[in-house]
Each structure stands twice: as structure tokens, then as C-alpha cells.
Structure 1
Amino acid sequence: MDSRILADLLDRNDDHVAALPPGSFDRHRDDQRPGVVSVCCSDSRVSQEGMFAVDEPGYLFTSGAIGNSVSAVVDGERVLDGSVAYPLGHTHTEVLAVVGHTGCGAVDAALTAARTGEFPSEPGVRADVEALLPIVEDGLSDPRVGGGAADGKGGDAAGENRGDGAGPSLRDRLVEHNVHEQVAFARGREEAADATVYGFVYDLHGAYGDRDGAVYLVNADGERDPAALRDLVGEERADHVGTLLGR
């Protein structure tokens, strides 16, 4: 038993309590109406509240999932995950933000599976990677993503972890492709019919720009064209629009 970690957690909670302004929960004790539900990859480097500077309760409904997946399998059918469907249906939430991140280990595992047939040994992790596999395989066959490497062995296969400035890595192009696919899946579900769905990539590898921790808008309700997205966000925020995929 690691009591040092326990002590650290409790001390951090004391800091959290001390930082909360008086009355922070007054409007939310018995109800919540978050404006946004965010689905981000399960990763210690990617803080959902942190990336959007959320320091007050009630603004962001958060869901973490391997590969920032918005779906779950129920009775053999792939459906919108409950942690997404719930706020859209029950807390008056109108915006869904799907957030991938550069250097995603889940996408990397699915890429390995596409190439070698090898999956992680843990059943739960394997199931999540298996769900990503068709998306990665589709990306590998897309010239904009994998350069037509349908078997996962061509294209930029040597550069999935590249950080040498020679261009975006295959892994990070697949990350963006996965965000597009997750957005498309959500938009196709009845529970999200009235929601606005945005797709972002959180950059911690300098793939989209030179600001660690910046989020880049890559999709807005299915719109992927960077010029259209820059028009949407306006000139002041145009540096938050990007893509690694050719058009």
C-alpha cells in the first residue's frame, strides 16, 4: 500500500477545496446543465478540465475513453456511449466535443494490430483496441491518411513516431482520422441529432503548431475544410484550426 500517493491525493483535494470560491456549488447541488460534454482519450497527459481552463463545477461534463471513443456495444449493437448520451438527453447539454491527442497509445496499438495481428493481453483493453481497428484500417487505405497503405506496411509506416520535422507521423494522421470517424458516428445517432459536434486534437508533440497543450479544431458538424473552420472561429482564433490530412 502506497500511503505517499494517498497523502498526496488528500493534500491535493485540500488545495482544490481551498481554491473553490464560496458558493461554487450553490447552483449545482441538485441539478446540472453543462454546456459541453467532452470525450477525451484516457491519458494522464491530457486533462479535459485543464485544456479548457475549467476551474468551476457545472460547465464541462467529462468522459474519458481509450481512443476517445464515443461508442459502446450493447446486445451486439454499437451505440452511443451512455456517458455521452446521458448529458445530451438529460442535462440539456447541446455541444459534444470529441478530443483526440497526438501520440495516442490506443491508435498506436490498433496500428500494431493492423500490421501484426497482435493485441494487448488485457481483455478490456483488447476490446477497446479492437473497436479502433476498423477505423485504423480504413485510415491506412485512405491516401490522405495512410498513403494507400491498405496492409499497414506501406506509406509512412516507418514514421509513426517521427519527430524529426519531416512531416506529420502516420500515427498522428490516424489520430485525426479517428476523431473524424468518432464525430461521424456521434452525428449519426438519434441521441445526438440536436447537438453540435466538434472534433479537436490536443497537441503535445508539435504536430500542428509550436504551442504545447493547444487544441486544434479539425471538424465541426462534419465540416473538415480548414478555410471553412477558420471562418467559423474567426480571425482571432484561426490559429486553433489545423489538419494533418491532405485534401
Structure 2
Amino acid sequence: MHRGILVDLLDRNDDHVAALPSGSFDRQRDGQRPGVVSVCCSDSRVSQEGMFAVEEPGFLFTSGAIGNSVSALVDGERVLDGSVAYPLGHTHTEVLAVVGHTGCGAVDAALTAARTGEFPAEPGVRADVEALLPIVEAGLTDPAVVGEGGDVAGDRAGDENADNDADTSVRDRLVEYNVHEQVAFARESEEAADATVYGFVYDLHGVYGDRDGAVYLVNADGERDPATLCDLVGEAHADHVATLLER
């Protein structure tokens, strides 16, 4: 038994309890009305509450999914995942934030599957990667992701370090591409028809800028033009707008 981890969890909860101001749940005990539902990749390095400095209960409804997927397969049909549909339909939440992250292992696994046909062995993980596969395959035909020459990283022989760098670059562009596709799927769903949907990428590799932990807005209700997004966020937050997919 991992007693050390258990004790650490309880110590951390004690810290959490001590940090909560008195009456923190007074307005939340009988219900919730979060301002935003966030869908982020299930990755220990990417804290949804942490990236938005959420310390108070009731602001952020969180959903974690491999590859920050907003969909679920129900009776053979792709539908908006319940963890997203529920707050939009039942807690008066009107904003959905889809958050990918650099170095995403799920996107990397789907990229490997697209190139080699190899999938993770675990059935549940395989199913999640299979759901991402059509998005990655479509991305690998998009010049904004792979350049005019196609999937160069997958086809090119040569210097190993150069190939690895190219693989990393393609993967991170696919991360952003996947965010756009998840935003599009959500916006096409009946449950999110009246919601505002934002797409972000959380950067922990210095890909978009030089600030570890910064989120970069790449999509707002389907709008992807950086200049338009900069106008939306204002001058003070223009450094939170970036893209790897400029055409």
C-alpha cells in the first residue's frame, strides 16, 4: 500500500481546508452556477484550477479527458460529453473553454497510430486514441499543420535530431488543430448552441512564448484570426494570443 501517498493527500487536504475562507460554501451548498466549464487534457502537469488561479469554489466546472475531447460515443453516435452538456444545460453555465497543451501524449499516440497503425494496448486508452485518430489524420493533410510538402516529419530520412524536432513541431501543431476541431464539434452540438466557446493551448514547452504555464487563445466561437482575437482580448492581454497554424 502506498501509505506515503495517502498521508500526502490528507496533508494536502488539511492545507486546502485551512486556506478556505470562512463561509466559502455558504452560497454554494444547495447548488452551483459556475461561470465556465473547462475541458482539458487529463495530464498531471496541466491543472485546470491552477492555470486560471481558481481558488474559490463554484467558478469552474472541470472536465478532464484524454486529448481534451468534448465528445463521447453513445449508441454508435458521437455526442457532446455529459461532463460538458450537464453544466451547459443544468447549471446556467454559458461559457465553454477547450484547453489543449503542448507535448500532449494523446495527440502523440494518435500521430503514431496514423503513421504506423500501432495503438496503446489498454482498451480504454485505445478507444480514446481512436477517437482522436480522424482528427490527426485530417490534420496531416492540412498544409497549416504539415507545410506544403505534406507530413514531412513522417516521410523524411536524415539527421535524427532534425527528425525529432520536426516530429515535435508537427505534434504541437496537431495539438492546436485538435483544439479547433473540438471547438467546432461543441459549437455544432445542440447543447452548446447558445454557449460561447473558447479554444486555448496551455504552453509548458515554450512553444508559443517564453512564459511557462501561459494559456494562449487560438479560437473564439470559431474565429481563429490572431488580429481579431487580439481585438477581442484587448491590448493588455494581446500576449495571450498566438497560433502555430498561420497560413
Q: TM-score, normalised by structure 2?
A: 0.95
Q: In structure 2, what is the Cα distance between the partners aligned to 1:82 and 1:40?
A: 14
* Alpha-carbon contact 2:156-2:163 (below 8 Å) kept: no
* CA deviation vs aligned residue, 1:102-123 (integer Å, no higher than 9, x gap): 0000000000000000000000
Q: In structure 1, what is the Cα distance between the partners aligned to 2:205 and 2:225?
A: 23
How many residues in Structure 1 have an aligned counterpart in Structure 2?
244
* Alpha-carbon contact 1:215-1:240 (below 8 Å) kept: yes
* Alpha-carbon contact 1:72-1:81 (below 8 Å) kept: yes
Higher helix share: 2
Aligned to 1:227: 227
Aligned pairs (5 A) from 1:171-190? 171-190=171-190
* CA deviation vs aligned residue, 1:55-77 (integer Å, no higher than 9, x gap): 00000000000000000000000
Q: Provide structure 2 residue ranges, at least 5 long, that are not aligned to the other structure.
A: none
Q: In structure 2, what is the Cα distance between the partners aligned to 1:115 and 1:47?
A: 30
Q: Provide structure 1 residue ranges, at least 5 long, that are not aligned to the other structure.
A: none
The one-letter code sitting in structure 2 at the alignment partner of 1:242 is A
The one-letter code sitting in structure 2 at the alignment partner of 1:71 is S
Aligned to 1:120: 120
Q: CA RMSD in A?
A: 2.0
Aligned to 2:57: 57
Q: In structure 1, what is the Cα distance between the partners aligned to 2:150 and 2:57?
A: 45
Query: In 2 relative to 1, CA 53–44 (structure 1 residues): closer, same or farther, beyond 3 Å?
Result: same
Give percent identity, aligned residues only: 83
Aligned pairs (5 A) from 1:142-181? 142-147=142-147, 149=150, 153-154=154-155, 162=165, 169-181=169-181
Q: In structure 1, what is the Cα distance between the partners aligned to 2:156 and 2:146?
A: 6
The one-letter code sitting in structure 1 at the alignment partner of 2:219 is N
Q: In structure 1, what is the Cα distance between the partners aligned to 2:224 and 2:80?
A: 22
Runs (4+) of structure 1 exceeding 4 A deviation are: 155-161
- State the shift of 1:153 in Å: 2.4
Q: TM-score, normalised by structure 1?
A: 0.95
Aligned to 1:242: 242
